[in-house]
Each structure stands twice: as structure tokens, then as C-alpha cells.
Amino acid sequence: MGLAITSARAAGSFSAGDELTAQQLLEIYRLMYLSRALDDREILLKRQQKIFFQVSGAGHEALQVGAALALKTGYDWFFPYYRDRALCLGLGFTPYNMMLQAVGAAADPSSGGRQMPMHWSSRALHIVSTSSSTTTQLLHAVGCAEAGRFFTRHPEAAASAGGDYRAFHDVDFHGDEVVLACVGEGSTSQGEFWEALNTASNQKLPVIFCIEDNGYAISVPVEVNTPGGNISRLVANFPHFHFAEIDGNDPVVCLRTFQEAAAHCRAGRGPALVHGHCVRLYSHSLSDDDKLYRSAAEREADALRDPIARMRTRLVGDGVIASGELDELERSMQQEAAHAADRALEAPLPSVSGIKTHVYSEDLDPAHAAFATEQIQTASRTNGATAAVAPKAAGGPRTMAELINACLRDEMRRDPRIVIYGEDVADASRDTALAEVKGKGGVFKLTAGLQTEFGSERVFNSPLAEANIVGRAIGYAVRGMKPVVEIQFFDYIWPAMHQIHNELSVMRWRSNGEWAAPAVIRVPIGGYLTGGAIYHSQSGESIFTHIPGLRVAFPSNALDANGLLRTAIRCDDPVLFLEHKRLYRETFGRAAYPGPEFAIPFGKAKVVRSGGDITLVTYGAVVPRALQAAQQAQREHGIEVEILDLRTLNPYDWEAIAASVRKTNRVIVAHEDMLSWGYGAEIAARIADELFGELDAPVRRVGSMDTFVAYQPVLEDAILPQPSTILNAIVDLRRY
Ligand SMILES: Cc1ncc(C[n+]2csc(CCOP(=O)(O)OP(=O)(O)O)c2C)c(N)n1
Ligand SMILES: [Mg+2]
């Protein structure tokens, strides 16, 4: 028998219904065996200390090969987890590329040596970068499926456009694509599993959830993670799903099951969940020893269910191939694995000078002058030549809330790839009421009227689940869309923190620039509300400026909010856009509508008051309070304070800070957030570090007390920094 051994697979070569040929059965075996051979080779390398981590797919091969062969490489979309070697091999990932990741080579196509082995990524194969965090990828898969559907219904949105992030995101979609997301059974305990099923079911999305049930989450058995020990029984009532619970050790059963699941999804009937019972033949990883916690009898029973041994017996028993020929095939697979490893060990290592590449977009810098239409506007007042391109201010003063809403509206008109969703952001609870009701548009009304103008496919409510909001946004964004999502209150951003910290911000870096998730997250933040109390007054921006890859904006007035939000939307990095609730409708900082092209670059502070005695660096709701304090300091003490409004916290305008400190030689950093470990600590430390010789006095910080914000206004006033707190600091600092 001729054994055609190929690494790549022609899409659709395993069609449903037809009897499998001997060639196809051997191809299934080849992929399974090659996967195991690669695991075994990696284990050897780890023992020789030539690689640094090893986790295997041993025992999961049948399920994964079944999935790979039922779906279409580079057409469907894939969100694997760290055991999915056989899946990725089946999709066309080469053994050499796998070994490049194991050794951490520069040419590792998944991450350039940044991620552990088995953390997959390939743009060509539509494999979206995998993290180690369990379950997060299921929400990305949901967002990815939503984006595919959106482009299918609105193909005009896929057109490329210059002048913003779209220039760097080619869109690729088919009307009937399927998204596969894989996860272990232990990981179904995570809330994000249920949040993903929720939206996939509600929206009848073409996502196949594959549960690779090996009965263990490291040492924790399935009954601890899953009440009753069977996830299929728990999920059975989700509407629109196609469910299958199967023997995940039989690759032909697996293939047929995934073909049925894919047919259900492609026909638009809804998602599918394939629950495959498989075995974990090795320990969880090479850092684990399952003899410490599993009985010998149980381990021996699992070994008897080894899908490769079973498939071998079947091929030989059914006369598909002679035992000797199969031995020969296996030897060639082992040689292929060894050869791939040997070549990878020779490959050049990543250069240290490239470490920071792809933390942020290398293509589009939000600090770039192209976003400086603010300057153009200012220039136009003195120079008629630039007036033609200047944004047009119009109408009377508008609040920050109104100008944020105006920016969202203008950008949605300009860019058909923008979708807006979050809790309560829609106008009408149900579409049928849209014509009748005035519209809600968010608890602070920032998205008012947008569903009415742009329809329910572009502006819609999300479930009450913050990880769902951000996780789906990542899926949308990797497909080239621009989700501009709302977290209702900063106080409730924490369920999304895992997605923000471990996924959104790091997607570009960990995939070495292959994928990116430039979503915008708008978040009302802060106190001074008189009664906001603990859960409607929180600050905490420094927790987010501590995350590389994430831009953070924090405007203090209506015009800045409008211009910075435009930059946030058009740029190619993920942005946390913090909107101070107290400033939404304040008289302070109102401005005329600046027109649909008004933008402010990130990282450019604004001198909101000039002065020669003390520099006061601040942002957000402290800006008007600092202005009050500065006026009083001048009136009562003759002290001239220069106030810098940073406007964006990452990046921040170090040059402006340094220039002002060189002039005044005294500096206060003031913010609403708690003093200790707050944003000011970093700025103060850098000033002390780099401008020590310029200082005539110690760097002073002003912040709230190191406590929570209380409900009773007497307490709230004492906890948060007031103009009087700032004034005291100013007067005190002048004494040096
Ligand atoms: C959110 C999160 N918590 C904890 C871990 C550490 N961890 C890695 S794998 C794992 C067990 C996963 O078990 P399961 O989902 O059944 O997948 P399996 O490894 O058995 O295939 C744990 C706890 C992690 N990676 N992510
Ligand atoms: Mg498991």
C-alpha cells in the first residue's frame, strides 16, 4: 500500500457521509501518532534541559484529529487550548514550527519565543493566539463568531480604509464559517464558560465548544468541578445547541460527531457542544506527577483506553495495513519529530533588543501628530491657510456627556466596523419598542439615541457579565472590528480584569504582532457624588496603567473627552477610556461641539493654568479642584501654581512634566485615588530619579485617604482630596 504522508491537509477532504477510505484512516492515524511522537520528543528534550516546559496532548489525539478533519483550515476559526497539538497538526501546523516554540526560537511563528510550548497562533490557519488562562478563549470565540456574522450581513464594513486602525486589519470572512473553541472539563467551572454558552445560545452563533474531558484538572477530579460529574447533563437545557457526548478515544466517532456539529452550525441553527471522554495518559505536565494523587489501578485502566493503541489494533485487525508497515510508518513519524527537534535546536534565539516590540502597535501610534487636529484648530485661529481643514466648532456649550455621545455618533457614521454594547446601553429593551420609547442609552445616557440611529446589530445590550463584555470584544477585535464597549461602573470592572490583564492587553505581544485586540472600553469612574459610597465611587487607574499594552485615557473636560475618545477609537491599541461621572454634566469644562474630525493625540498634557512657583500635575476630577486651590493660593498667598492636566495616563507626557518642574523647581502630584501605591507614586519617583537636581523641595503627593469611599457626605468629603487639601499642600511646599 502506498502511504502518502503529507503535513498539510486539503480543506474538506474528509466529507461527511462517505465511508472512510484506507488512506483516510491512515491519515487519521498518522496525525495521532505524529502528535504523540512530538510529545515524546519534547519530553526527552525537557529531561535533557534543552527546553523549559512541556505539557502534552497524550490521550486527547482522537478527539482533536476528529475536530481538525471535520473543519476547514484557514476558513473556519480556531481557539485551541494548551493540549491541542493533534488539532493544530491536523490544521496544518508543522512539527518544526512546534519545536521552534518548544526551544523558544526567534522564528517560533506562534510567539517568537515569548510563550510556552503548545500556545498556538497562526494567522494563515485562523488559529488565534492561545493563553495559559483557562477558559478565556471561549468568549473570544463567541466574539469572533459574532464578527463573522456581522461581516456577512454587512460586507461593506470589511472594506479597508486609511487613516485609522482599519489600514492594518484585513478582513476575511465566509457566510458559513464555524468557530471551534476547546477546553478541558475542569475549566467548565469558570464563569466564562457559562457566559460564553449564554451568548452563543442567545444569538445562535456558529461556535462548536469542544470539552476534552480527561476526568482531571491537574489533580482535581471531575466530580469536584462538575456537580454530578457530567457537564453534558448540566448544559442540556441551553436552547439552540446541538449536543453530543461521545467516546473521545475513537477518532472515527469523533470525526463524524464534529461533522454533524459543523453542519448544525453552518446551517445557522445555533452552536454545538461536543463532550468527548478522553484520557490523560501522562501527568498534567512534566512539572506534575500523577502517581502522587491517582491510584495505580486507575492509571492502568486509562492506559488501556489509549486511543492510539486502539486505533492501531483496529487498522491491523481490519486489514487496513499490515503490522510491519505500520511499524515503518511509526518509525518515520518518530524520525520526523526528531528531525524537527534537531533543526529547531539549531535555530537562532530571539534578540534581547526586540523585547518591547509589539507591546503596542508598531504601525499606528496614538501619540502621533496625525491625531493632533487640536493643534490645527488652534493654528487656524491665527493662520487662515489651515482653516480649511480645521474642525468646526458649533453651537453652545455642551457637557462632557453630550460630547462623548457626539463622538460615538460621528465615529459610528464614519466607521461601519464599530459596534457598541454593554449593560443597558441600548435605547429600547426590546426592538419592538424602539419606535415607541424615548430610549435609555446607558445608565448615564452616554449612548442615548445610538441604537435608534444605527440599529440593533450595531448597538445592543449585553448580559450582566463584565468578562463576557470584554472577552467578546477581544474576539470582535481580532477579526478587524472595533468594539467600543461600556462597563457600567468602574466599581464593577473586576470580573473583566482577567480578560483585560491576561488577554486584551497582551494579545499583540504574545503573538509577536500577529494578532491584536484594539478594543475601546469606556468606563464611568470616580467619586465626589455625595452618596456614591463604596461601590459607585471607586478610582483605581494605576492598576490599569500597570498593564503593558493597554492605553489609559482620563479626560477632565468635554472637549478633551471628545478628542481623546476619537483617538481611542481610531488607534490600533486597546484603550481603557475613563470618564469621570462627576464631570459628565458639570458646568466646568463644557465646550462647543468641535466637529467630526476633532482629535487629540495621546500623551500630550495640557497646561490649564500657567505659573512659576509650583507645578501641579493632575487629571480627571481633581483638575477643577486644583484650579480652585490655585486661584486661592494666588489670592491669599501670592503663589503662582502651574497646573498640568495629563489627559492620558498611558502614555503620559513626561516632557511636559519635566519642562514645568525645571521652571518651578517644586511639584505636587494630585489625584483622587488613594495616596499609597497610586498613580502619583510613579510620577513622583520618576521626578525624584531624573529631576533631582532641579528640585528645591521634596516631591509632594495629594490623594485620597487609604480607605474606601463612604456614603455619608461628611465622611466622603474627608476621604477624598478637596480644594483645601490641595491648597494646604501648595502652601506647605512653598515654605521650602
Ligand atoms: C484561570 C486559570 N486558573 C488556573 C490555572 C492553572 N491550571 C492550568 S491547567 C489547570 C487544570 C485544567 O484542567 P482541565 O480544564 O480539565 O484541562 P486539562 O489540563 O485536564 O486538559 C489549572 C488549574 C490556569 N492556567 N488558569
Ligand atoms: Mg481535564
Tens digit of each residue's pLDDT (9 = 90 or more) over 514-524? 999 999 999 99
The Å distance, Cα 539 to ligand 1 centre, comes to 32
DSSP string for 432-467: GGTTTS----STT-TTTTHHHHH-TTTEEEPPS-HH
CA distance 647 to 644: 9
**Ligand number nearest to the C-alpha of 214:** 2
Q: Which atom of ligand 1 is nearest to the CA of 183?
A: 15
Q: Which three cell numbers stand for residue 72?
A: 476547514
CA distance 112 to 15: 35
pLDDT band at 394 (very low <50, low <70, confident <90, very high): confident
SS3 of 284, please?
coil
**Ligand number nearest to the C-alpha of 131:** 1
CA distance 360 to 350: 18
Q: Which three cell numbers stand for residue 296?
A: 495505580
What are the CA-CA distances from residue 726 to residues 591, 605, 614, 678 (Å)? 26, 20, 12, 16
Share of the chain above pLDDT 70, in %: 96
> Whose C-alpha lies nearest to ligand 1, atom 25?
133
Q: Which three cell numbers stand for residue 430?
A: 426590546
The Å distance, Cα 599 to ligand 1 centre, comes to 44
> Under 8 Å CB-to-CB from 665, ≥6 apart: which residues?
694, 695, 696, 697
pLDDT mean over 594-618: 97
SS3 of 257, please?
helix
> Under 8 Å CB-to-CB from 600, ≥6 apart: which residues?
371, 372, 373, 374, 560, 563, 564, 566, 567, 647
CB 176 within 8 A of CB 543: no
Q: Catalytic: which of 242, 536, 580, 671?
A: 536
Query: Hey, which of 39, 132, 218, 277 would you mutate to test ligand 1's pocket, going by the most ligand atoms within 8 Å of its Cβ?
Result: 218
Burial of 536-546, coded b for 16+ CB within 10 Å and e otherwise, reads: bbbbbbbbbbe
Side chain identity at 205, as an amino acid letter? Answer: L
Q: Which three cell numbers stand for residue 609?
A: 493654568
> Whose C-alpha lies nearest to ligand 1, atom 20?
217
Query: Hey, which of 82, 130, 134, 135 would you mutate to test ligand 1's pocket, going by the most ligand atoms within 8 Å of its Cβ?
Result: 134
Alpha helices, H only, 279-383: 296-304, 307-317, 323-346, 373-382
pLDDT mean over 611-621: 98
> Under 8 Å CB-to-CB from 397, ≥6 apart: which residues?
558, 590, 591, 592
Q: Quote the pLDDT of residue 476.
A: 98
- Give the DSSP H or E segment for 577: strand 575-580
- Give the DSSP H or E segment for 641: strand 641-645
Helix 22-47 with 251-266: angle, nearest 10 deg: 110
CA distance 701 to 597: 37
Give the model confidence (pLDDT) of 340-360 as tens digits: 999 999 999 999 999 999 999
CA distance 181 to 211: 9
Q: Which atom of ligand 1 is nearest to the CA of 134?
A: 26
- Give yes or no: 242 in active site: no
Average pLDDT, the chain: 95
SS3 of 422, please?
strand
Residue 478, strand partner residues: none
Q: Using the structure block, give the residue that is written with the C-alpha cell 494579545.
A: 507
> Under 8 Å CB-to-CB from 633, ≥6 apart: which residues?
639, 641, 727, 730, 731
DSSP state of 189: G
Give the model confidence (pLDDT) of 718-730 as tens digits: 999 999 999 999 9
CA distance 534 to 522: 20
Q: Quote the pLDDT of residue 31.
A: 98
Q: Quote the pLDDT of residue 729.
A: 98
What are the CA-CA distances from residue 133 to residues 81, 130, 143, 499, 517 (Å)? 9, 9, 17, 9, 17
pLDDT band at 319 (very low <50, low <70, confident <90, very high): very high
DSSP state of 553: E
CA distance 639 to 164: 44
Q: Quote the pLDDT of residue 17.
A: 79
Q: Are strands 591-593 and 394-398 parallel, antiparallel or unpaired?
A: antiparallel
In Å, how far from its chain's centre is CA 57?
26
CB atoms within 10 A of CB 717: 13
Q: Which atom of ligand 1 is nearest to the CA of 83?
A: 21
pLDDT band at 628 (very low <50, low <70, confident <90, very high): very high
CA distance 136 to 131: 8
pLDDT band at 506 (very low <50, low <70, confident <90, very high): very high
Q: Which three cell numbers stand for residue 365?
A: 501610534
Asked whether residue 9 carries a pLDDT value surpassing 70, the answer given is no
Tell me phi and psi for residue 321, to 5 degrees.
-155, 150
DSSP state of 712: S
Asked whether residue 2 carries a pLDDT value surpassing 90, the answer given is no
**Within 6 Å (CB) of ligand 1, which residues are found?**
83, 132-134, 184-187, 212, 214, 216-218, 280, 284
- Give the DSSP H or E segment for 90: helix 85-91
Q: Quote the pLDDT of residue 206.
A: 98
Q: If we measure between CA atoms, which residue out of 157, 205, 198, 200 comes closest to residue 177?
A: 205
CA distance 365 to 359: 12
In the chain the first and final C-alpha atoms are separated, in Å, by 92
CB 88 within 8 A of CB 101: no
Q: If we measure between CA atoms, which residue out of 152, 168, 247, 159 comes closest to residue 206?
A: 152
pLDDT band at 393 (very low <50, low <70, confident <90, very high): low
The Å distance, Cα 138 to ligand 2 centre, comes to 16
CA gyration radius for the chain?
29
